[in-house]
């Protein structure tokens, strides 16, 4: 399984900044990336083309989107479809990021629809799951992860669409953008829970599904995080916005 090092740029960087950062990343990482690593950049929609141009033909680099609406086309003002993302060069997309779940009130049902629709359209989907601090304090981590995974992955439609690729990102909400990293034992325990659910839900494919960790990943904690059982990559927000720190993470 390849180790996926993903940069979630959220609502940051203009086209020229995005292109410049992507070119710097290519300059720093081309030929320096371990063979089993893949660098994925998830810029805002407006910078997809700029980043696509910067990484074109560079091995080990991929492009993805942070979101989409699950329909082919239509009267959905403000939205972008998976077909449009594929046309823009995307191979990947996120579903269920905690910022979408919390700021934009995306339900488990909408996340599930996005996940299966994106898979059916041919995107490699990264399903984000994770508990809030209150849920952790009330010992509900397993229950929350099970609910989020089962609501998105249970069912024949998903089973039939898995060929295009699925990863799961475990991102404890309290560790996203806060500088607070989950303890290695918490990451190990949560990733083991996710692996167990995946094995139960995805007949035969649970073991091959990558599980990423996300939450204040930095150059100084990446090697420890990647050494934890069932951690198959990372999803990085803040530290992915500067080429120097993200390339250190990608090499780490």
Judged by the rule CB under 6 A, the positions of this chain that interact with ligand PEP are 8, 171, 176-177, 214-217, 235-239
Report in angstroms how near the CB of residue 97 gets to ligand PEP at its nearest.
6
Judge whether 97 counts as a catalytic residue: yes
Residue closer to ligand PEP, measured from CB, 70 or 238? 238
Residue closer to ligand PEP, measured from CB, 69 or 174? 174
**Active-site entry in 99, 171, 191, 197:** 171
Name the closest residue to ligand PEP (Cβ): 237
193 closest CA partner among 225, 239, 150, 238 = 150
Report in angstroms how near the CB of residue 56 gets to ligand PEP at its nearest.
25
Residue closer to ligand PEP, measured from CB, 116 or 212? 212
Residue closer to ligand PEP, measured from CB, 115 or 176? 176
Report in angstroms how near the CB of residue 77 gets to ligand PEP at its nearest.
26
Judge whether 12 counts as a catalytic residue: no
Report in angstroms how near the CB of residue 7 gets to ligand PEP at its nearest.
9
Burial of 89 (0-12, 13-18, 19+ CB in 10 A): middle
**Active-site entry in 38, 97, 99, 131:** 97
Report in angstroms how near the CB of residue 163 gets to ligand PEP at its nearest.
26
SS3 of the chain: the string is CCEEEEEECCCCCCHHHHHHHHHHHHHHHCCCCCCCEEEEEECCHHHHHHHHHHHCCCCCEEEEECCCCCCCCCCCCCCCCHHHHHHCCCCEEEECCHHHHHHCCCCHHHHHHHHHHHHHHCCEEEEEECCCHHHHHCCCHHHHHHHHHHHHHCCHHHHHHHHHCEEEEECCHHHCCCCCCCCHHHHHHHHHHHHHHHHHHCCCCHHHCEEEEECCCCCCCHHHHHCCCCCCEEEECHHHCCHHHHHHHHHC
Residue closer to ligand PEP, measured from CB, 138 or 178? 178
Q: At which residue do the structure tokens 């180790």 appear?
A: 3
- Residues marked active site are found at 97, 171
């Amino acid at each position: 399984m390849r180790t996926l090092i993903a940069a979630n740029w959220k609502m940051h960087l203009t086209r020229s900044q995005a292109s410049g950062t992507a070119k710097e990343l290519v300059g720093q990482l081309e030929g320096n990336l371990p063979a089993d690593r893949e660098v994925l950049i998830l810029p805002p929609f407006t910078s997809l083309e700029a980043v696509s141009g910067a990484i074109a033909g560079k091995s080990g680099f991929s492009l993805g989107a942070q979101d989409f609406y699950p329909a082919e086309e239509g009267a959905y003002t403000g939205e972008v479809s998976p077909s449009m993302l594929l046309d823009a060069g995307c191979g990947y997309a996120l579903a269920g990021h905690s910022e979408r779940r919390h700021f934009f009130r995306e339900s488990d049902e909408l996340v599930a629809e996005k996940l299966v629709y994106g898979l059916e359209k041919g995107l490699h989907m990264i399903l984000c799951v994770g508990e809030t601090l209150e849920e952790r304090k009330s010992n509900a981590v397993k229950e929350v992860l099970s609910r989020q995974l089962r609501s998105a992955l249970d069912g024949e439609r998903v089973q039939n669409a898995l060929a295009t690729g699925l990863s799961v990102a475990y991102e404890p909400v309290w560790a996203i953008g806060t500088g607070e990293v989950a303890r290695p034992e918490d990451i190990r325990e949560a990733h083991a829970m996710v692996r167990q659910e995946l094995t139960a839900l995805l007949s035969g494919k649970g073991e091959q599904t990558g599980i990423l960790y996300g939450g204040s990943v930095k150059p100084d904690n990446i090697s420890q995080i990647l050494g934890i059982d069932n951690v198959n990559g990372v999803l990085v927000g803040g530290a992915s916005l500067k080429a120097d720190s993200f390339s250190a993470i990608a090499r780490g």
